[in-house]
Structure 1
Amino acid sequence: MILSAEGLRVTRAGRVLLQVPHLVVAPGEVLAVLGANGAGKSTLLRCLSGELRPDGGEVRLLGRPLPQWPARGMARHRAVMPQASALAFPLRAREVAALGRIPWGGGDAGVEAALAAAGAEHLAERWYGTLSGGEAQRVQLARVLAQLHGTPPGRSLLMLDEPTASLDLRHQHRILEVARARAAEGAAVVMVLHDLHLAARHATHVLLLREGVPLAAGPAREMLDAALLSATYGVRLRRVPDAVGGATIFVPG
């Protein structure tokens, strides 16, 4: 396995925000974390990435507890794309993507390929601060892809927090297709999503969170069930066929 967690617990002011007894992400898996606003999705991702130390439990990367990893070593195996990234200094898009090479001592190995994979090569010479939200998101994807360049896919973890925010439909699918392609090479992917249709098309596994507690977890085809999703989101959903793409979608009612 690439990522595992046992007994995760996060509390604030005596209130439990997150309680995840067990979680495993294996090579080749694309795990979509789904749930309503405030369900604990981003909190879970922050714990799994090492950004937030839980009040209880343990997270392991490649079998090693996160606190035992040196920062540079962890960064060579685990890359995180947050919901939004602000920069205090003026940099061009290519320079932002090249920030992913810092754990490797700098350089530009893999940067051009990462920009191309993210559909951002034409943005390379643009100032990052002038980019739209969607363009900036694609550059950030290039950064995390460049960060993992040189690490065997089977020892790589890509973490994406709402990666499709601010993107048009074409680029939403492109980003998730890139993530799925990395998984097909053997990497593990964990992503927070809001769009059930995107999860159905691109995830291999799904974790359903409600009020910080897993409601269910397993293969996507089993988790994307109208009854389970209705309980997760607190609204009645029904499954309907998508006449255009042939995929399954869920609508209220």
Structure 2
Amino acid sequence: MVENSYEPTITRTSVVVSGVDVQINRRQILHGIDLTALPGQILALVGPNGSGKSTLLAAMSGSRSPDAGTVRIGDLDVHGTDARSLARTRSLVTQQNRDDIPFTVREVVEMGRFPWTRTDQALRSPEIIAAAISECELGDLVDRPFTQLSGGQQARVSLARALAQDTPVVMLDEPTAALDIGHTEQVLTILKRRADAGATIILVVHDLSLTAAYADRVAVMKDGRLLATGSVEEVMTAELLSTTYDHPVLIWDHPETGERLITPAR
């Protein structure tokens, strides 16, 4: 990991979801979701495909309005807040990257500082941008066009942009999906370090062993409903996960490291 001198000063900020319903094309996607994400923690949203994880993250971020219920980030009503104020409070990394972005890696990371234009925080932008590039190990790529990168490289650039945004809440939709083993561990370590500094980290993740290794709290979803929320030990049980995924799940400890591993029964 490349070291850098920038240390974020993070305002501890909770995200509170209350009674959120979402319909898409008259189909009920989320059913009365109540959920709280706390500062200093990684909250992982897990569940099978189509369970509503990405839709819930979109509602939490403000990119999709709920049909009922509220989302608050600190004192802000997410869906009653202007875009600039929201962008100073939470950053969002989605699964999709446009394939026609005519910008270099450095320029994409610099976009994370746009919400802070004409504020006192803008004075630190060069330092913060350099730190994000260093932390995500993008120094050799800064002048490359974003569209010429691999999917995994683009994912790391998107994370660097979110880090440069320097918000107390970071939301990510499957941030490790396109990454190799080494970069997966790098990204989760970066997020863990940001949580340890006081940030609220919310991520959608499919890898249950990664969830067990890095999450502080887990929200298990199925069919648009929240089945359970709690610590890894409380909710990531073989019984609950087997029911959630409609497939037998095994939970075991690595004989050498003691790390909790979660695998399908085959």
Q: TM-score range by the shorter chain?
A: over 0.9
Query: 1:206 maps to what in 2?
Result: 218
Mean alpha-carbon deviation: is it higher for 229-238 or for 101-110?
Answer: 101-110
**What runs of 5+ residues in structure 2 fail to find an aligned partner?**
1-12
Structure 1 regions of 5+ residues with no counterpart? none
Deviates most, 222-231 or 34-43 = 222-231
Q: CA–CA distance in 2 between the matches of 1:132 and 1:33?
A: 26
Q: What corresponds to 1:140 in structure 2? A: 158
Counterpart residue type for residue 73 of structure 1: S
Q: Give the Cα–Cα distance (whole angstroms) in 2 for the partners of residues 93 and 87 of structure 1.
A: 13
What is residue 18 of structure 1 aligned with on the other side?
30
Inter-partner Cα distance in structure 2 for 1:9 and 1:192: 18
Question: RMSD in angstroms over aligned alpha carbons?
Answer: 1.5
**Selected match of 2:136 from 104, 118, 136:** 118
> Please, which moves more after superposition, 129-138 or 16-25?
16-25
Find the aligned partners of 2:126 and 2:100 in 1 and give their Cα distance. 21
Q: Does residue 129 of structure 1 match 2:147?
A: yes
Q: Residues 29-81 of structure 1: CA distance to partner in whole angstroms, max 9, x if unpaired?
A: 10000000000010000000000001000000113211332211110110001
1:87 to partner: Cα distance: 4.9
For 1:35 and 1:53, locate their aligned partners in 2 and report how far apart those are by CA, in whole Å.
Answer: 22
The percentage of aligned residue pairs carrying the same residue is 37
Match of 1:91 among 71, 78, 103: 103
The residue aligned with 1:168 is: 180
* Alpha-carbon distance in structure 2 between the residues aligned to 1:51 and 1:244: 44
Q: Separation in 1 of the partners of 2:99 and 2:72?
A: 30
Q: Greater shift after overlay, 59-68 or 76-85?
A: 59-68
Shift of 1:178: 0.7
Flag as ranges the 4+ runs of structure 1 deviating above 4 A. Answer: none
2:74 match:
62
Take 1:75 and 1:234, find their aligned partners in 2: how far apart are those partners?
A: 38
TM-score by length of 2: 0.88
What residue is the counterpart of 1:182 in the other structure? 194
Quick check: 1:8–1:18 contact (8 Å CA) kept in 2?
Answer: yes
Partners of 1:94 and 1:224 in 2: CA distance: 39
Q: Distance in 1 between matches of 2:84 and 2:24?
A: 30
Paired residues, what number?
Answer: 247
Q: Counterpart amino acid of 1:126?
A: R
Distance 1:90 1:236, change over 3 A: same
Please state if 1:104 is matched with 2:116. yes
| Conservation of the 8 A alpha-carbon contact between 2:100 and 2:147 | no
Q: How many angstroms apart in 2 are the aligned matches of 1:28 and 1:101?
A: 23
Contact 1:3 1:63 in 2 (8 A): no
